[in-house]
């Protein structure tokens, strides 16, 4: 696979115990001259996997917030363009070809991509995730924290990919539950501390503590048609519903504890 000019594009990936996912991701990045992995002191085989790839450069930093971690990683890169990837994002060949075309001719500050979920190796063409900017010019973009995650502040116009990234997370359910527990705490704090007038519709629905879990369940199964995708469709639907249930429980707990404080 042809590489791109080293001064044009490098990739950034954050890791923490990503042994079940990382090899599939890195196998699709050998066309890049340099991939930076910023690791939060993994204790599994993540670093052993990373050491197998000659185009990889590994750095370590204690995790504090998503935005701080991503921005620290950006400062390690030396190129005009950045390909910012989670450690379970697998790039199809068509996506790679489109990326090469964008960095050769693209005029926008950032390009966002949609996702196709893989569950047990089965592709779910429909899901309820929003597109995320994954390719951008380093000089025009910086991350900021927003609830449990990070968002990219873009100084310029945003374009869109035609092709999708495969979201293929194969970590154990125990790990997923642990991650979601932490995410729900941060999201709960953000919702309670933000004035309703500044919240979007989805966040307002979440603050009701009632509607979001039901809406997500029926939306995934019927609006997205996942009821026809077998157990993979049910697995995705139940995971998304559980995320909303955890957040609703956090909100109830926080409000009731506040009343008794």
Res. 122: pLDDT tops 90: no
pLDDT greater at residue 97 or residue 1: 97
What share of the chain has pLDDT > 70, as a percent? Answer: 97
Q: Of 133, 151, 167, which closes a domain?
A: 167
Do residues 63 and 158 both lie within one domain?
A: yes
Do residues 251 and 163 both lie within one domain?
A: no
The answer to whether residue 77 is domain-embedded is: yes
Do residues 142 and 183 both lie within one domain?
A: no
pLDDT in tens, 7-55: 799 999 999 999 999 999 999 999 999 999 999 999 999 999 999 999 9
The answer to whether residue 131 is domain-embedded is: yes
> How far from 35 is each of 62, 158, 172, CA to CA, in Å?
20, 23, 26
Do residues 188 and 219 both lie within one domain?
A: yes
Do residues 118 and 148 both lie within one domain?
A: yes
The 3-state DSSP composition of the chain as helix, strand, coil percent (nearest 5) reads 45, 25, 35
Lowest mean pLDDT among 70-84, 124-138, 238-252: 124-138
Encode burial over 181-215: b for 16+ CB neighbours within 10 A, e otherwise: eebbebbbebbeeeeeeeeeeebebbbebeebbeb
Do residues 45 and 159 both lie within one domain?
A: yes
pTM of the prediction? Answer: 0.86
Which string of DSSP letters, residue by residue, matches 173-201?
A: HHHHHHHHHHHHHHHHHHHHHS-GGGS-H
Question: What integer pLDDT is reported at residue 121 of this predicted model?
Answer: 81
> How far from 185 is each of 40, 42, 64, 176, CA to CA, in Å?
20, 23, 14, 15
The answer to whether residue 3 is domain-embedded is: no
Question: What integer pLDDT is reported at residue 257 of this predicted model?
Answer: 81
Question: What integer pLDDT is reported at residue 221 of this predicted model?
Answer: 94
pLDDT in tens, 170-181: 999 998 899 899
The answer to whether residue 4 is domain-embedded is: no
Question: What integer pLDDT is reported at residue 261 of this predicted model?
Answer: 43
Question: What integer pLDDT is reported at residue 127 of this predicted model?
Answer: 79
Tell me which residue range forms the domain holding 244: 173-260
Res. 213: pLDDT tops 80: yes
Do residues 63 and 114 both lie within one domain?
A: yes
Do residues 129 and 238 both lie within one domain?
A: no
pLDDT greater at residue 146 or residue 88: 88
In this prediction, residues 56-73 reach a mean pLDDT of: 97
Do residues 91 and 122 both lie within one domain?
A: yes
Question: What integer pLDDT is reported at residue 129 of this predicted model?
Answer: 82
The DSSP code for 234 is H
For the chain, the average pLDDT equals 93
Q: Of 122, 151, 167, which closes a domain?
A: 167
The answer to whether residue 2 is domain-embedded is: no
Do residues 56 and 121 both lie within one domain?
A: yes
The answer to whether residue 144 is domain-embedded is: yes
Do residues 253 and 195 both lie within one domain?
A: yes
Q: 31: domain CATH number? A: 3.90.550.10
Do residues 34 and 146 both lie within one domain?
A: yes
Q: Give SS3 for 141.
A: strand
The answer to whether residue 1 is domain-embedded is: no
The answer to whether residue 256 is domain-embedded is: yes
Which string of DSSP letters, residue by residue, matches 51-117?
A: TT-TTEEEEE-----HHHHHHHHHTT--SSEEEEE-TTEEPPHHHHHHHHHHHHH--SSEEEE-EEE
Question: What integer pLDDT is reported at residue 124 of this predicted model?
Answer: 86
Written as six digits, the tokens of 75 are: 């400062």
Q: Of 167, 197, 226, which closes a domain?
A: 167
Please tell me the total count of domains within the chain: 2
Structure confidence at residue 6 as a pLDDT band (50, 70, 90): low
Res. 244: pLDDT tops 80: yes
The rounded distance, in Å, linking the Cα atoms of 179 and 160 is 29
């Amino acid at each position: 696979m042809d590489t791109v000019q080293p001064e044009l594009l490098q990739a950034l990936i954050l890791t923490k115990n990503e042994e079940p996912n990382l090899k599939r991701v890195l196998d699709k990045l050998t066309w890049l001259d340099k991939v930076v992995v910023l690791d939060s002191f993994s204790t599994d085989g993540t670093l052993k996997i990373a050491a197998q790839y000659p185009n990889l450069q590994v750095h370590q930093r204690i995790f504090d917030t998503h935005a701080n971690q991503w921005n620290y990683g950006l400062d390690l890169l030396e190129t005009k363009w950045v390909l910012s990837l989670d450690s379970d994002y697998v790039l199809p060949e068509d996506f790679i070809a489109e990326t090469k075309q964008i960095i050769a001719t693209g005029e926008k500050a950032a390009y966002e991509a949609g996702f196709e979920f893989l569950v047990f190796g089965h592709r779910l063409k429909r899901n309820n995730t929003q597109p995320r900017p994954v390719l951008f010019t380093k000089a025009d973009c910086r991350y900021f924290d927003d609830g449990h995650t990070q968002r990219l502040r873009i100084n310029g116009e945003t374009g869109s990919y035609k092709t999708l990234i495969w979201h293929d997370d194969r970590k154990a359910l125990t790990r997923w539950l642990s991650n979601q527990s932490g995410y729900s705490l941060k999201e709960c704090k953000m919702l309670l501390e933000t004035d309703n007038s500044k919240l979007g519709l989805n966040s307002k629905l979440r603050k009701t503590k009632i509607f979001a879990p039901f809406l997500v369940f029926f939306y995934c199964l019927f609006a997205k048609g996942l009821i026809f995708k077998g157990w993979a469709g049910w697995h995705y639907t139940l995971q998304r519903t559980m995320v909303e249930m955890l957040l609703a429980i956090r909100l109830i707990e926080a409000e009731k504890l506040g009343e008794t404080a």
